[in-house]
Amino acid sequence: MINDTLTPRLAVVTQIRTETPDVKTFRVESADGTPLFDHMPGQCAMLTLPGAGEAMFSITSSPTVGGYKEFSIKRCGRLTDALHAMEPGQQIGIRGPYGKPFPVDTEFRGKNLLFIAGGIGLAPLHSVIEYVRAHREAYGHIDILYGSRSAADLVDLDRIQNEWMQERDTGVYLTIDRPQDGWDGHVGFVPAYLKELAFKPDCTAIICGPPIMIKFVLAALIEMGFDKTQVYTTLELKMKCGVGKCGRCNIGSKFVCKDGPVFRCDEIDELPNEY
Amino acid sequence: MQRVSERVIARARELMREGTVNKVAGWKAGEFFYDCAPYVFESEESLKDLVYDRFCAANLSKYMIKNSVAAGAEGGKVLVLLKPCDTYSFNQLLTEHRIARENVYVLGVGCEGMCDIDRIREKGFKGITGVDENADGKTLTVHTLYGDGEVAIDDVLVNKCEFCKGKAHMIFDELISDNEDEGPRGDRFAGVRELEAMSPADRFAFWQSELSKCIRCNACRNACPACSCRKCVFDNDASGIASKANTDSFEEKMFHIIRAFHVAGRCTDCGECTRVCPQGIPLHLFNRKYIKDINEFYGEYAAGAEAGQRGPLINYTVDDIEPAAVSDKGGN
Amino acid sequence: MAMKKIALTQLEQLFAALSLTRKVYLPVEKAGQYDYAPWQPGLTYHPEVLHTVKSAKSVFFPQSEDLIRYKRAGLSLEISQQAPEDEEFVVFGVHACDVAGFEVLDRVFLSEPVDSYYKARREHGTVFSVMCAKPEETCFCGTFGIDAEAPGGDVQSWLADGVLYMEALTEKGEALLAAVSGIVSEVDDAGTQAAAETRAAHKAIMERLPLADLTTDGFGADAELLPLFNRPEWKELASSCLGCGTCTYVCPTCQCYDIREYNTGKEIRRFRVWDSCMYSDFTMMAAGTPRPDQMQRFRQRFMHKLKYYPDNYGGAFSCVGCGRCLQKCPISMNIVKVMRKLGGANHNDK
């Protein structure tokens, strides 16, 4: 039988962790014990739960961990509702990897890195951060700025506090939108906190979060002296095929599913403003 | 039609120039003589492309939903050219509170029947480069890449004009017409009666053959002035019945029959559905069937004959027919 | 391979002979409209019909096709893939524009990762083209460099005085003509001459077509993307667009698709259907859509054909000038009007 690119492989959800009130992380492994596929940080995969549909999700886990893939998924529609209702042991379909990864082995190497994430936007950056930690000597100083609506909405807080904050030569800055009891950390939106922290433009910035956050963060970075060639982000559009053929995730001549989702911000300037 | 055409265009310019209106919804000349497109002109200068001729079949009423609101927001008024049949749609949209009447200036335009380029093609003409209306007013000389020919206007009328509802405008602020209203042209229910006379099996076969051509392009729905829902149930992914293609013949029937039911009592028989269908499906026969039934059950009713009227399907009276009549009538 | 011929009156025999070894698709009339459908005894070819409503692409890329079947029981899931087409078929009567349309689709579906469903149909299908009899005023294949007198495919053919002259262009085409060698006959010098004359006469008509002056100046891989994208005229071009999918669904080159599911109660079928970028839900996500207005959706369709596709596929355009959209758009808006409005300086005079 021909294995068409649109046909998913059988996989099983082996672990489900509740991250926040509306985010769960799903660990997916192949059903037959063979490795699923190799991926690089920033790449995505299509998850299928027949009856609920199929959609593209960024792979949260780093390629440096074992044979599994993890996906941190926010509940926001029909398919994600159904995914959140799954129990461990549920078999699903998976196909991928799709898209262009972050240039972790090329442009990022030897550089200081500044990660800026908002809400579920941490998911795609998670794999980059873990990849960088696994090859720590290959990169310079790391700063991670992460914000969300409330303390309860910070994804993977345990790992952030117990691992990232303990990592050598790494600064971690958390913020939440509004003050709340029991939170003694920073309060305020990510772009404002970014300006407060006044990072020097001697690093490569990697942004992911809601479009409005990306917009203001990018503006703040430019104000702080960053050049757009130093800034990377990911774009998200509706996808069906994942391989640049179904025709719906294009921005100008680029397909987000295969030419993205990772773009350098100066490349985005050359695209029509339709994302 | 030449004379009326010149007066219409001149008057539209005049109304624009004197500031009565700041936009004109009409038909814009195209690449060929027959492919004018609905268009909202925004300057007197742009009106050089305004045409009104035998190929201006498109009903502009539905465009007034968006444009009447836009005109109001801009503090202006939009002029719309409406043929007699188009005014029914306009009125019905007023009844449904979909058009801001105060922002629209209705210029009723006389009509002698629109010609359908597809029907001229069906007469065997290929590579049509032009037509001339002959002095007899009854025939067209057709010029083609392969020679000239002649065709009777009556034979190439747009389907809706074959059974013209009449030359009278149901609403207008100003009228430019040379036509006397001679009432309806032909028996528009003849086609329905033919279908009613068929055996259920034959009738089923007829519709199956027609509807299996459907490509689900949604042109009928999108052109239909009665289909003015902001979001159609067939476009709503969450409805569970959204679809983009016919997965089986059941689906085709569901789409068109549900649509026909949804516009029953509101459909003015403007004929746009059939006119725009790329597959030539006589969709108007569904609507005419319901119009005919409504007429028979509740007495003569013409949706859009006047604004604000209450249609029989949404107006309960003690004289209403008993529901059992439907099942008595149905089946055969 | 030498040219062969058959009398138009004997075409039914040709179809009958071909159908012994393969399915034969040809334009078939149904309730007044022509579309490609399997040949059956009693059906013949109507050369006077220029276009089917849907283009011939539907033979290789059907409007709807099952891809995968799923069965769910508790936590377990069974995935089975629909087997791609494995039966031989021939599609007869395709004109140059639609043949060129296949090439447009090939670049998309046969580039990596290959679409195995499309590829299987292309491999099992033989294209038997016929030079169009009488081009319409809406034809403009010449704009895209298509030679209507050499319609291409695996076998190409010309009609002259009730005789169809044919020649194989590929191995597949040769095999097809060999399979009917008992029905077709050899062509003498007079026949060769007749075929050449009908081509010459056709060429003379093509030069007189009203759209013969239409060029692709201002579009394509060399055009600047953002200035074209940002042209203010898009607004007026799109202003009356109904947002229906007619242009898309009659187009031989539109290839966008949706993947949907249908729960039969016993299994869940995942199927692929044609989609249209003109539809409001095409890019709709939980968070909204990047193309909320019809103007943006309209612009997408034409930018794709005239700029994005050429950028991605070596300068080739995603339009073959068949003219179907000119004939079928409910409001008579189409790619020619777009090209006239936005094209090179010489277009703007019109």
Q: Tell me the pLDDT band of C347, cut-offs 50, 70 and 90.
A: very low
Nearest chain C CA: its distance from B286 CA (Å): 17
Write down the pLDDT at residue C349.
41
> Exposed, middle or buried, C54 (CB in 10 Å: 0-12/13-18/19+)?
buried
User: Alpha-carbon distance B322 to A92, whole Å?
Assistant: 54
Residues B75 and B172 in one domain: yes
Peptide bond into A191 cis (omega under 30): no
Q: Give me the amino acid identity at C288.
A: G
E strand or H helix at C123, and its extent?
helix C116-124
Does residue C197 sit within a domain?
Answer: yes
Count of domains in chain B?
Answer: 3
- Reported as half-sphere exposure (CB side, CA atoms, 13 A), residue C308 has a value of 23
The mean pLDDT value for C185-212 works out to 95
Cβ neighbours around B138 below 10 Å, total: 10
Pairing state between β B78-82 and C155-160: unpaired
Domain residues for the domain of B27 are 2-114+163-176
DSSP A126-160: HHHHHHHHHTGGGS--EEEEEEESSGGG-TTHHHH
- Reported as half-sphere exposure (CB side, CA atoms, 13 A), residue B91 has a value of 27
Write down the pLDDT at residue B332.
45
CB C254 within 8 A of CB C248: yes
Question: What is the side-by-side strand order in the sheet with C89-94?
Answer: C33-38, C23-30, C89-94, C125-130, C155-160, C163-168, C4-7, C185-186
User: Alpha-carbon distance A173 to A175, whole Å?
Assistant: 7
The mean pLDDT value for C323-333 works out to 96
CB C335 within 8 A of CB C203: no
Sequence-separated contacts (24+) of C227-230 with Cβ below 8 Å: C228/C303, C228/C306, C228/C307, C228/C342, C229/A252, C229/A272, C229/C299, C229/C303, C229/C307, C230/A272
Residues B17 and B65 in one domain: yes
User: Alpha-carbon distance B52 to B1, whole Å?
Assistant: 9
Report chain C residues whose CB lies below 8 A from the CB of B222.
242-244, 330
Give residue for tokens 């758009």: C329
User: Alpha-carbon distance C343 to C339, whole Å?
Assistant: 5
User: Alpha-carbon distance C334 to C328, whole Å?
Assistant: 9
Does residue B66 sit within a domain?
Answer: yes
Residues C92 and C132 in one domain: yes
Q: Do the Cβ atoms of C50 and B245 come within 8 Å?
A: no
Q: Tell me the pLDDT band of A1, cut-offs 50, 70 and 90.
A: low
Q: Is C85 on the interface with A (CB under 8 A)?
A: no
Query: Token digits for B311?
Result: 């249609």
Residues 10-29 of B with CB under 8 A from C: none
Q: Tell me the pLDDT band of C1, cut-offs 50, 70 and 90.
A: low
Write down the pLDDT at residue C348.
43
Residues C200 and C248 in one domain: no
Does residue C59 sit within a domain?
Answer: yes
ipTM: 0.92
Does residue B203 sit within a domain?
Answer: yes
Q: Do the Cβ atoms of A4 and C229 come within 8 Å?
A: no
User: Alpha-carbon distance A55 to A73, whole Å?
Assistant: 11
Quick check: C21 pLDDT over 50? Answer: yes
User: Alpha-carbon distance C109 to C349, whole Å?
Assistant: 38
Report chain B residues whose CB lies below 8 A from the CB of C331.
37-38, 58
Residues 6+ apart with CB under 8 A from C260: B243, B244, C270, C271, C272, C273
Residues B198 and B314 in one domain: yes
Q: Is C260 on the interface with B (CB under 8 A)?
A: yes
Residues B72 and B142 in one domain: no
Residues C182 and C46 in one domain: yes
Q: Give me the amino acid identity at C204.
A: A
- In this structure, the dihedral spanned by the alpha carbons of residues B186, B192, B197 and B202, taken in order and rounded to 10 degrees, is 130
Write down the pLDDT at residue C350.
39
Q: Do the Cβ atoms of C236 and B39 come within 8 Å?
A: yes
Residues B220 and B315 in one domain: yes
Residues B44 and B172 in one domain: yes
Write down the pLDDT at residue A228.
95
Residues B70 and B206 in one domain: no
The mean pLDDT value for A139-143 works out to 96
Residues C100 and C166 in one domain: yes
User: Alpha-carbon distance B168 to B86, whole Å?
Assistant: 11
Q: Look at residues C89, C153, C151 and name the one whose alpha carbon lies nearest to residue C120.
A: C89
User: Alpha-carbon distance B175 to B173, whole Å?
Assistant: 7
Residues C54 and C192 in one domain: yes
Name the fold adopted by A112-234: Rossmann fold (3.40.50)
Residues B134 and B93 in one domain: no
Give residue for tokens 């391979």: C1
User: Alpha-carbon distance C153 to C90, whole Å?
Assistant: 11
Chains that touch B (3 or more CB pairs under 8 A): C
Q: Closest partner residue to A76 among C257, C286, C290, by Cβ?
A: C286
Q: Rounded to 5 degrees, what are φ and ψ at B106?
A: -90, 115
Q: Do the Cβ atoms of A236 and C108 come within 8 Å?
A: no
Question: What is the side-by-side strand order in the sheet with A186-187?
Answer: A186-187, A170-176, A142-148, A112-118, A203-208, A231-234, A262-264
Does residue C217 sit within a domain?
Answer: no
Does residue B184 sit within a domain?
Answer: no
Question: What is the C-alpha radius of gyration for chain B, rounded to an integer number of angstroms?
Answer: 21
Residues 291-320 of B with CB under 8 A from C: none
Chain centroid to CA B305: how far?
15
Q: Which residues of chain B carry a pLDDT beneath 70?
A: 240-252, 326-332
User: Alpha-carbon distance A201 to A223, whole Å?
Assistant: 10
Residues B167 and B245 in one domain: no
Nearest chain B CA: its distance from C225 CA (Å): 26
Residue-wise pLDDT tens digits, A239-250: 999 999 999 999
Does residue B143 sit within a domain?
Answer: yes
Q: Is B60 on the interface with C (CB under 8 A)?
A: no
- Write down the pTM of the prediction: 0.94
E strand or H helix at B190, and its extent?
helix B190-197
Write down the pLDDT at residue A60.
96
Residues C165 and C233 in one domain: no
Give the number of A-C residue pairs with CB atoms closer than 8 Å.
Answer: 127
Inter-helix orientation angle A190-197/A211-223, to 10°: 20
Give the CATH number of domain A9-98: 2.40.30.10
DSSP C98-116: HHHHHHHHHHHHSSSSP-H
Q: Is C126 on the interface with A (CB under 8 A)?
A: no
User: Alpha-carbon distance A123 to A25, whole Å?
Assistant: 9
Q: Would you mind telling me the total number of residues written for chain C in this entry?
A: 350
CA distances to A97, B267, B283, C128 from B260, rounded to whole Å, are 46, 9, 9, 41
Does residue B215 sit within a domain?
Answer: yes
User: Alpha-carbon distance A11 to B179, whole Å?
Assistant: 73
Q: Look at residues B50, B54, B58, B51 and name the one whose alpha carbon lies nearest to residue B23.
A: B50
Query: Token digits for C29?
Result: 């009339």
Domain residues for the domain of C302 are 225-347
Q: Rounded to 5 degrees, what are φ and ψ at B150?
A: -130, 150
Does residue C213 sit within a domain?
Answer: no
Q: Closest partner residue to A93 among C77, C258, C296, by Cβ?
A: C77
Residue-wise pLDDT tens digits, A40-77: 999 999 999 999 999 999 999 999 987 899 999 999 88
Residues 6+ apart with CB under 8 A from A63: A38, A39, A40, A41, A127, A131
- Reported as half-sphere exposure (CB side, CA atoms, 13 A), residue C129 has a value of 24
Q: What distance separates the 2 farthest-apart alpha carbons in chain B?
A: 64
CB B51 within 8 A of CB B28: yes
User: Alpha-carbon distance B318 to B261, whole Å?
Assistant: 23
Closest chain B residue by Cα to residue C331? B37
Residue of C54, C240, C281, C298 to mutate when probing chain B, most B C-beta within 10 A: C240
The mean pLDDT value for C71-79 works out to 94
